[in-house]
Amino acid sequence: MDAIISRIIDRDPDQKEFHQALHEVLASVKPVLDRNFEYRQLAVLDRITEPERVIMFRVPWMDDDGQVHVNRGFRVGMNSALGPYKGGLRFHASVNLGIIKFLAFEQVFKNSLTTLAMGGGKGGSDFDPKGKSDNEVMRFCQSFMAELYRHIGPNTDVPAGDIGVGAREIGYLFGMYKKLKNEFTGVLTGKGLGWGGSLIRPEATGYGAVYFAAEMLQTRRESIENKRCLVSGSGNVAQFTTEKILQLGGKVLTLSDSSGYIFDEQGIDQHKLAYVKQLKNIRRGRISEYAMQYPEAVHVPVDPSLGYNPLWEHGADCAFPCATQNEINGVDAVHLAKGGVQLICEGANMPTTPEAVDIFHDHTLLYAPGKAANAGGVAVSGLEMAQNSMRLSWPRKEVDDRLKQIMKSIHRTCLDAADEYGTPGNYMAGANIAGFVKVVNAMLDQGLV
């Protein structure tokens, strides 16, 4: 295992997020390999850590002043043993191949846990939609799709949204795909409700994370009711995590963006949340404006050079990191434990550094990794694909019930796998093992391809 990791690092030394994700998964699945000679003999680790395909392309576009810009586009098809590649597109200045590979790798195991027929992929661009006009975003999306369309399809690869890619971007991408391919198919998920989208898809990642947290708390005979919660981010996942916490009787104290966070001791209620949705999704403003609208709240700017995020210092019962990777480091983890947090449930992908995960486990806190806790988003994307294939649209309650059931089942699967391999209560080990075994068995059934 060490030899495989060294080889991967030597080959692509700059892909540190991918190496971090590899370390985490491979450490968890070691006992599985120890027990299974066939997995070792057939080199499943070498195969599962190498993407089936990587597409990189130029994305030229023109801004409103007639200036030409060139961004880089990516789509990684990591593994298709369980179905067509499935995973979001991220538009953010930090995007590079290492980040897309880490996200695609995580997606393989996450999709496996949902039990739906989806392989794992991810894509995106270093284009940042922040501060761009709608027309600029549309021209960028059209140029991006002018290359991507030849590599995707409803039975090949079905992208969705992620950071910087919401309903607006999915609309522009879909419009261009439809024009170029001369067909109206379910090639993207997260579509508008009027043209093939699924009810509950926008809510699914956040709602699913809170359903998962409720299951975890129930193992200690507790519930979300009256729990003080810290939420980071203020985009899609953070908004619907907050909404579900409020519906279940919890209190949300914080939200953030890349400039800082707001703390509202009185709690962010449904009315204030409606303001945040309008601020972030329509006006595309900054979270600092919340503190101007609601003087009982404070805005705290965060300088990344500080080395920790004071958001995680506030005393609370539960933490829901819903912004981005590595937003909780060792110092933050110590602050969370000291502040009385009992549960950390990841809405974002890999928001916790390995050092911080160890601290959570040392304190026997309930800790759920994103690949289990945020799988509700891709699960409902899978349901959107099913509805598109049948040209049907299921009612809200039906999709929400299925989402709840899927999150319950992922929770049980994680605990069972953790028990079976001698790490009871370790959701990270359980998620990695259960996701891995299903994918690897499918790969072996399908021969050396």
Binding site for ligand NDP (CB under 6 A): 161-164, 166, 205, 233-238, 257-259, 322-324, 347-349, 374, 377
Q: For ligand NDP, give the closer residue by CB, 26 or 103.
A: 103
Q: 166: which DSSP letter?
A: -
Q: For ligand NDP, give the closer residue by CB, 162 or 384.
A: 162
d(CA 258, CA 279): 15
**Least distance in Å: CB of 204 to ligand NDP?**
7
User: CA 323, 324, 326 angle in degrees (round to 5)?
Assistant: 125
- Does the active-site annotation cover 178? no
Q: For ligand NDP, give the closer residue by CB, 79 or 349.
A: 349
**Least distance in Å: CB of 430 to ligand NDP?**
19
Q: Looking at beta carbons, which residue is closest to ligand NDP?
A: 235
Q: For ligand NDP, give the closer residue by CB, 79 or 232.
A: 232
Half-sphere exposure for 41 (CA within 13 Å, toward CB):
5
**Least distance in Å: CB of 259 to ligand NDP?**
6
For the record, the structure tokens of 144 come out as 């991006």
Q: For ligand NDP, give the closer residue by CB, 138 or 348.
A: 348
**Least distance in Å: CB of 197 to ligand NDP?**
13
Residue of 170, 308, 312, 296 whose CA lies nearest to 229 = 312
**Least distance in Å: CB of 291 to ligand NDP?**
15
**Strand-strand pairing, 157-160 and 85-91:** parallel
Of 110, 122, 132, 280, which residue is the catalytic one? 122
For the record, the structure tokens of 133 come out as 């006009």
If 0-12 CB within 10 Å is exposed, 13-18 middle and 19+ buried, where does residue 69 land?
A: middle
Question: Which are the catalytic amino acids?
Answer: 122
